[in-house]
Structure 1
Amino acid sequence: MASGVKVGDDVKEMFEKMKLDTQSDERIRVMALEIEDRLIRVTDVIRQKDIIEQNTDAFEIFKKIMLNKCCCYMVYDCHYEKCEQGGQEDLVFSMWTPDSATVKAKMHYASSKNALKNVLKGVKHVLQLNSREDIESIHDFATKLGGRVLSIEGKCCGQT
């Protein structure tokens, strides 16, 4: 089911920047997207330098932004370590449709997801998140990445 929602040029531009810049303090680590006027647009961008200035990590910012939205999409440049593969940096695309959102909003985001996924070439993980429990625990989030994740953003996940 297509919603007729289009993906904004700003989304395409920011996503390309996110994929290409993997080293500088200007690199994009978290990008929030929302549907506004039948267009998916970037509403929040967090760069590596912002994370350093806030003395936190990208996972905490990812959670904070997501939990403060009714529904949204997020792209997160996740740095994690797996038992069998060592350190990894992958792009994680998630759709946040909390239980508290209206059925109409949930359906609108769900029916627009494929248009966005078609633009986000190079995303490693696609997650559907519906409750605080899906992301509040670093262990639960690590489970969604699959395999035995030891740490996310340098924080132990408690998996072995």
Structure 2
Amino acid sequence: MPWLEQANAASGMAVDDQCKLKFLELKAKRNYRFIVFKIHEQQVVVDKLGGPDETYEDFTAALPGNECRYAVFDFDFTTDENCQKSKIFFIAWSPDTSRVRSKMVYASSKDRFKRELDGIQVELQATDPSEMSFDIIKARAI
């Protein structure tokens, strides 16, 4: 089964240095609100960057409706004790309408790629926009 071999080979996926660099900038300097990553030619690369003033709606609009992506989102919130906090979410976006092979490649590479990004606090898997609604993000952050 050649598709199975391709999926297994994908777990050895290369990660472009820009992925780690941009993630560090999001984490340390807060230069970005979100980063969307895609797999391109056997390598994870930066697909889109969201500026610090962009909203969660801007982030969800940046995800393609029928293609898989990885993404990180820096979520700011206020606790019940009125403390300002931030959590970095890792979102594995795998819409039901994406190709099966693509879903398999993203699924088999996810854990390795996530380990490259030191500082992820919450992980979310979504196949539909409702599974990563703002209310779900807020509930997972607290």
1:127 aligns with: 124
Is the contact between residue 66 and residue 96 of structure 2 (CA under 8 Å) also seen in structure 1?
no
Q: How does 1:1-160 map to 2 (within 5 A)?
A: 3-22=11-30, 27-48=31-52, 51=53, 57-68=54-65, 70-83=67-80, 86-135=83-132, 137-143=133-139, 145=140, 147=142
Contact 1:74–1:93 (CA under 8 A) maintained in structure 2: yes
TM-score relative to the length of structure 1: 0.75
Secondary structure of 2:63's counterpart equals: helix
Higher helix content, 1 or 2: 2
Q: 1:85 to 1:39 in 2, by over 3 A?
A: farther
Q: CA deviation at 1:82?
A: 3.0
Give runs of ≥4 in structure 1 deviating > 3 Å.
Answer: none
* Count of matched residue positions in the alignment of Structure 1 and Structure 2: 134
Structure 1: how far apart are the matches of 2:49 and 2:20?
Answer: 13
The CA deviation at 1:86 is 3.1
- Following the alignment from structure 2 to structure 1, what is the Cα–Cα distance between the partners of residues 35 and 128? 20
Q: Structure 1 residues 63, 85: closer, same or farther in 2, change over 3 A? A: same
TM-score, structure 2 length as denominator? 0.84
What is the rounded CA distance, in whole Å, between the counterparts of 1:82 and 1:103 in structure 2?
40
Shift of 1:5: 1.0
Q: Is the 8 A contact 2:65 2:95 kept in 1?
A: no
Aligned equivalents of 1:108, 1:101: Cα separation in 2: 12
Q: Could you tell me whether the CA contact under 8 Å between 1:78 and 1:90 is conserved in 2?
A: yes
Whether the 8 Å contact between 2:74 and 2:86 is mirrored in structure 1 is yes
Output the aligned Cα RMSD. 1.9
Shift of 1:85: 6.9
The answer for unaligned runs of 5 or more in structure 2 is 1-7
Residue by residue over 1:19-56, the C-alpha shift from the partner in whole angstroms, topping out at 9 and shown as x without a partner, is 1103xxxx1111000000000000101112xx3xxxxx
